[in-house]
């Protein structure tokens, strides 16, 4: 098999406008945080309807800033779903607080709010819902739980651009929302992130902390309208986004809807093509929501198959199809097992579902022929692996 025949699991969709804007930025003489980043923030606010937006260099940085701003401190507890990426829980450790891992619901693998409620203690300060794969969490129940216990709601929206919940865009629901523009995400700047909030004080705190705890950024300090004077208000971080990245982001965001329509079209094609297989469980769009379709995670009904997930993944690789698994639940990883004594049965639904999870390629640059190749390869494996053939 030649490299050209391999269908990657993810590919960015970069247009000529993004490339031209980067070149213009490079020629402009201002390449770090400046006018283009402020423009990206303004357009992101207009698109989502968020009051405050702050561009940062990753979603991980956004989550760290958010938890710091809402006042998470040493020995506090933060509720984190176990079905997520490393970043969601590690930021809790950055602040010497304790991530309390919570199981998912079986239907869409988002946070099980009843399990979260059962895990609340007097030390619980915040909860981080993750809109897994692009489908929104049960935000009404999460906001009610947070209100009951005085918790801050920091959303991990790394998969959730553009996700909607009951007519509202993610970015306008929780206390602070954190987006990712990592290379594989639905809108990318290579590396990057965005924070949104309606709270003025938290917005100010995050803006200061994202650049050394200094009260003005370099753009304001060094241009003619600014001054040389600055004050350090706290030992902050270095999380600002460059104008080179924002140049990409401005044009990616303008194509967000168009790229979403293509991913949705492909997702609907997968759903239709795989509908005939009782060996599969498929992701769905919940009523009253908009699914961002960042991922297309299927689940194998192992009791109906002779092959397990590993054999299925091997089969896809042999067919030249990139696939992945989202995610190995956090509570199964050595750090959480060894540090907090997590056992697989602490989050039994996640532990069980993980064994049969596979993410298929889904991105706007995929052609119809490529999508057909994925369907053909998956179908072949399922027919071959059927328990009761004939």
Ligand X SMILES: *Cc1c(COP(=O)(O)O)cnc(C)c1O
Helices (H), the chain: 16-28, 35-48, 59-69, 86-94, 113-118, 139-149, 200-209, 218-222, 243-254, 256-274, 309-318, 334-340, 348-354, 368-384
Contact status: 108 vs ligand X (CB under 6 A): no
**Of positions 127, 158, 280, 374, contacts ligand X by CB under 6 A:** 158
**Of positions 48, 82, 84, 177, contacts ligand X by CB under 6 A:** 84
Residue of 100, 170, 84 lying closest to 132 (CA atoms): 84
Contact status: 85 vs ligand X (CB under 6 A): yes
Helices (H), 119-217: 139-149, 200-209
Binding segment for ligand X among 33-41, 52-60, 270-278, 307-315 (CB under 6 A)?
Answer: 52-60
- The per-residue DSSP string of 246-269 comes to HHHHHHHHHTHHHHHHHHHHHHHH
Pairing state between β 193-197 and 176-180: antiparallel
Contact status: 130 vs ligand X (CB under 6 A): yes
The smaller minimum CB distance to ligand X, of residues 60 and 124, is found at 60
The smaller minimum CB distance to ligand X, of residues 86 and 234, is found at 86
Binding segment for ligand X among 53-61, 135-143, 222-230, 339-347 (CB under 6 A)?
Answer: 53-61
Could you tell me the two tokens for 53?
């937006």
Rounded to whole angstroms, how far apart are CA atoms 30 and 37? Answer: 11
**Beta carbons of 292 and 345 less than 8 angstroms apart:** no
Pairing state between β 280-281 and 124-127: unpaired
Binding segment for ligand X among 45-53, 57-65, 73-81, 378-386 (CB under 6 A)?
Answer: 57-65
Per-residue contact track with ligand X, 233 to 272, x per CB under 6 A? ----------------------------------------
Contact status: 182 vs ligand X (CB under 6 A): yes
- Is 216 annotated in the active site? no
The smaller minimum CB distance to ligand X, of residues 50 and 381, is found at 50
**Beta carbons of 240 and 61 less than 8 angstroms apart:** no
Binding segment for ligand X among 15-23, 85-93, 246-254, 368-376 (CB under 6 A)?
Answer: 85-93
Contact status: 155 vs ligand X (CB under 6 A): no
Closest distance of CB 84 from ligand X, Å: 5
Residue of 121, 118, 124 lying closest to 77 (CA atoms): 124
The smaller minimum CB distance to ligand X, of residues 87 and 307, is found at 87
Residue of 250, 216, 220 lying closest to 233 (CA atoms): 216
Dihedral pair phi/psi, residue 102, rounded to 5°: -120, 145
The smaller minimum CB distance to ligand X, of residues 238 and 389, is found at 238
**Of positions 33, 60, 188, 196, contacts ligand X by CB under 6 A:** 60
- When computed from its CA atoms, the radius of gyration of the chain, rounded to whole angstroms, is 22
Closest distance of CB 95 from ligand X, Å: 16
The smaller minimum CB distance to ligand X, of residues 181 and 274, is found at 181
**Beta carbons of 359 and 295 less than 8 angstroms apart:** yes
**Beta carbons of 219 and 36 less than 8 angstroms apart:** no
Active-site residue (options: 98, 125, 169, 185)? 185
Closest distance of CB 180 from ligand X, Å: 3
Could you tell me the two tokens for 128?
């981080």
Rounded to whole angstroms, how far apart are CA atoms 134 and 177? Answer: 14
The smaller minimum CB distance to ligand X, of residues 10 and 69, is found at 10
**Of positions 25, 37, 48, 58, contacts ligand X by CB under 6 A:** 58
Closest distance of CB 29 from ligand X, Å: 28
**Active centre residues (catalytic):** 185
Contact residues for ligand X, defined by CB under 6 A: 58-60, 84-85, 87-88, 130, 156, 158-159, 180, 182, 193
């Amino acid at each position: 098999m030649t490299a050209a025949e391999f269908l990657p699991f993810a590919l960015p969709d970069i247009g000529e406008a993004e490339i031209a804007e980067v070149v213009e930025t490079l020629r402009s003489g201002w390449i770090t945080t400046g006018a283009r980043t402020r423009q990206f923030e303004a357009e992101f606010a207009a698109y989502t309807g968020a009051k405050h937006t702050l561009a940062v260099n990753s979603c991980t940085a956004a989550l760290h800033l958010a938890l710091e701003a809402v006042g998470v401190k040493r020995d506090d507890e933060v509720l984190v779903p176990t079905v997520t990426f490393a970043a969601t829980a590690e930021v809790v450790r950055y602040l010497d607080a304790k991530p309390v891992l919570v199981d998912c619901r079986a239907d869409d693998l988002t946070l099980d709010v009843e399990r979260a409620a059962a895990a609340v203690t007097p030390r619980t300060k915040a909860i981080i819902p993750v809109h897994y794969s692009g489908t929104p969490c049960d935000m009404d129940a999460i906001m009610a739980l947070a209100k009951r216990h005085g918790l801050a709601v920091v959303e991990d929206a790394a998969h959730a651009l553009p996700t909607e919940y009951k007519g509202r865009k993610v970015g306008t629901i929780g206390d602070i929302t954190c987006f990712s523009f990592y290379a594989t995400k639905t809108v990318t700047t290579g590396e990057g992130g965005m924070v949104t909030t309606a709270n003025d004080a938290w917005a100010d705190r995050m803006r200061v902390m994202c650049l050394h705890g200094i009260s003005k950024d370099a753009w304001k300090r060094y241009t003619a309208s600014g001054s040389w004077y600055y004050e350090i208000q706290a030992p902050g971080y270095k999380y600002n986004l460059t104008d080179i990245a924002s140049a990409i982001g401005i044009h990616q965001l303008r194509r967000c809807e168009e790229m979403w329509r293509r991913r949705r079209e492909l997702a609907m094609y997968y759903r239709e093509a795989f509908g005939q297989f009782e060996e599969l469980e498929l992701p769905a769009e919940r009523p009253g929501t908009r699914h961002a379709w960042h991922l297309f995670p299927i689940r194998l009904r192992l009791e109906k198959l002779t092959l397990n997930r590993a054999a299925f993944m091997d089969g896809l690789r042999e067919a030249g199809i990139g696939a992945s698994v989202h995610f190995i639940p956090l509570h199964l990883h050595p750090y959480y097992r060894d540090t907090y004594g997590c056992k697989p049965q602490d989050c039994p639904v996640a532990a069980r579902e993980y064994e049969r999870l596979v993410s298929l390629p889904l991105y706007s640059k995929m052609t119809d022929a490529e999508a057909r190749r994925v369907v053909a390869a998956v179908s072949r494996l399922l027919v071959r692996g059927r328990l009761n053939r004939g």
